[in-house]
Amino acid sequence: MRLKLKLAQKISLLVIVLIIFSIGISVSISGQWYIQRMEDNLEQNTLNVVKITALSPIIIEGIASGKDDGSIQTFIEKTQQSLEQIDVMVVADKNGIRYGHTKSDRVGEMFSAEDNDRAVLYGETYVSVGPGTLGDSMRAFTPILDADGTILGFVMAGTLLDSIVVAKQVIYFMTLLFILAGSGVGILGALFLSHFVKKSLLNYEPEDIARLYLENQGILAAVHEGVIAIDQNAKITLINDTARQYLMLKENCIGQPIQEVFPLSKLPEVLESGEPALNVQYALNERIVVSNNVPIINDKHIQVGGVSSFRDQTEMTKLAEEMTGVKKIVDSLRATTHEFKNKLHVILGFIEMDQKAAAKEYIGNINNELQETISVILNNIHEPTIAALLIGKSQRCHELKIQWTLDENSFFSNSLDINVNSLVIMLGNFIDNAMDELDTCSQSNKLIEVLINDEADRLILQVKDNGRGIKDSSPLFEKGFTSKEGSRGYGLYLVKEQVDAYQGKLMVDSAFGKGSCFRIEIEGARK
């Protein structure tokens, strides 16, 4: 049997768990950081002590002579008196005979540990942790060198690890203390919060909130434009302004049966069957709309109503074409078709005039010209969609008397796995803008050069034209900006969105009267 908790109990339990978890993690991390800082400081302090001590002339001369008169021991005692964190110091020759020790009675004895070899044999300065005569300690070693660099012995300074152990115990105790204190505060806070939340929600329990949430979620999931919602009695419970416009409603229709307000609606059928009716087309007041109709189901799997959304089919089609780049491909294919129709008319004329030789020669020229263009594209562009786009655009340029060339450095296989629709949007808009510009120019020699290359883990996409150029390129990529009559100003804006999505670079090089160059660079890993 599953335990059913009320809202206040759920909030209280959640807050307490979060507080305990947060405090435990925070104190643990900060404690570990503090202990690590302590260890780092101790390590650095001991290293500094041994390095300075090993440079003392008293130490060097005493070890070198082998006849210390007690000056080394005196030096060690005075040094250690001035250092609070150093618990033990040792000065010994390379044979391990102590010349100085924290405990004076151990002078002349052999060094008892075995971790001094690196200092004596290899001249290294280092830190080790291990047992000593006074207990476990962190010990720093450094060699004692004469003027010639000969190893005479070593200096050791150590710090007992008792302080570290005590610090860890304190941290464990503080963690427990903070958890207990935080739990107490959390309980009080949770009770206050749960009371406040329930009051703000008019004392609704989660089940009631879930029902309202599911209803609104159903509406939001189904609509982008007009909305109508009905209850289980097929009466309208919600309608927005866009739906009113589509249905040309002026009066308030809340509470009215859906059949009276919108006789064509599929909602009564959805209410009866419990199955959605999607992508239904209606002719509403000289407008074609697409409607999605879905049932509203509560958490008990009971149908409590339905919701219908409307969207203008024309606007949807335009947006889909622009976003996916389909329009670019279609326009390219349409240009190719138109160009071939013109050529067929010429051939038909030759045949009608019984000019078979002329027709044959014309067909041969067309074939050679077409094959050359297609061959260059297919040999260098190995992505079918982009190749089709370029073939179509080249035919359109030929129709407009524009010389179209593919840069000799072009090679594209989509090795960076860039979305083809994105490429169509970027390349298609650049070429279209260049063609539109040259089509309105009066000059006779009109040129467009296209470069697309992805061989070096970088996509380069570039379109050049020799048109009139641009005086100010700064607003080109702003939404709605256009210099063309009747244009919506979304083309270059969509290009910038695609480039930004791939974190690429978008560059414009244009001089008024000399033409323009649009270039995109996108870095990426080869797939």
Per-residue DSSP letters for 387-401? HHHHHHHHHHHHHTT
Instruction: Note whether 17 and 140 are same-domain residues.
Output: yes
Whether 521 shows a pLDDT value over 90: the answer reads yes
Q: Give me the pLDDT at residue 410, please.
A: 92
The DSSP element (H or E) to which 279 belongs, if any, is strand 277-283
Average pLDDT of 10-23?
A: 73
Q: Looking at the 3D structure of the chain, how many domains does it have? A: 3
What pLDDT score does 368 carry? 54
Q: Minimal CA–CA distance to 328: which of 376, 370, 386?
A: 386
| Domain containing residue 276: CATH number | 3.30.450.20
- Residue 511: inside a domain, yes or no? yes
Residues 172 and 275 occupy one common structural domain? no
Same domain? 251 vs 191: no
Extract the tokens encoding 425. Answer: 């949007």
Place 220 in a pLDDT band, splitting at 50, 70 and 90: very low
CATH code of the domain in which 438 resides: 3.30.565.10
Rounded to 5°, the CA angle 522-526-527 comes to: 120
Per cent of the chain over pLDDT 90 is 11
Give the pLDDT confidence score for residue 486 in this predicted structure.
Answer: 47
Report if residue 222 sits inside a domain: no
What integer is the mean pLDDT of 105-131? Answer: 84
Q: Give the pLDDT of residue 1.
A: 47
DSSP state letter for 235: B
Asked whether residue 239 is domain-assigned, the answer is yes
Looking at the fold, whether 428 and 493 belong to one and the same domain comes out as yes
Top-confidence residue, 412 or 43: 412
User: Which residue has better confidence, 300 or 278?
Assistant: 278
pLDDT category of residue 25 using cuts at 50, 70 and 90: confident
In a domain, 367, yes or no: yes
Do 346 and 281 sit in the same domain of this protein?
no
Domain boundary among 318, 344, 363: 318
Name the domain boundary from 268, 283, 318: 318
Identify the domain boundary among 277, 301, 318: 318
> Is 137 part of any domain?
yes
Q: Are residues 442 and 499 in the same domain?
A: yes
Band (217; pLDDT cuts 50, 70, 90): low
> Do 299 and 381 lie in a common domain?
no
**Judgement on whether residues 76 and 34 belong to the same structural domain of the protein:** yes
What is the reported pLDDT for 527? 46
Q: Are residues 313 and 350 in the same domain?
A: no
Confidence check: pLDDT of 247 > 80:
yes
Helices (H), 233-355: 241-247, 258-261, 267-273, 313-324, 326-352
Query: 174 and 28 in one domain?
Result: yes
The answer on 235 and 185 residing in a single domain is no
Q: Is 221 part of any domain?
A: no
pLDDT of residue 133: 61
Q: Which domain holds residue 481?
A: 325-523
pLDDT tens figures, 491-504: 787 888 888 888 89
Pairing of strands 505-511, 403-406: unpaired
In a domain, 194, yes or no: yes
- Bin 42: left if φ > 0, else alpha if -120 < ψ < 50, else beta: alpha
Using the predicted structure, report yes or no on whether residue 17 has a pLDDT greater than 80: no
Can you tell me the distance from the alpha carbon of 221 to that of 210, in angstroms, rounded to the nearest whole number? Answer: 16
Specify whether 121 is located in the same domain as 260.
Answer: no
> Is 76 among the domain residues?
yes
Query: How far, in Å, are 59, 71, 72, 154, 322 from residue 64 at the CA level?
Result: 8, 13, 12, 12, 88
Position 221 pLDDT exceeds 50 = no
Q: What is the pLDDT of residue 340?
A: 60
pLDDT tens string 49-84: 889 999 988 888 888 888 777 888 888 888 888 887
Residues 141-170 have pLDDT tens digits of 999 998 888 999 999 988 877 766 666 677
What residues have CB less than 8 Å from 121, skipping those under 6 apart? 151
Residue with tokens 């480039």: 499
pLDDT digits (tens, 9 = 90+) for 77-96: 888 888 877 888 899 998 88
Model pLDDT for residues 313-358, shown as the tens digit of each residue: 665 555 555 545 555 555 555 555 555 666 666 666 767 777 767 6
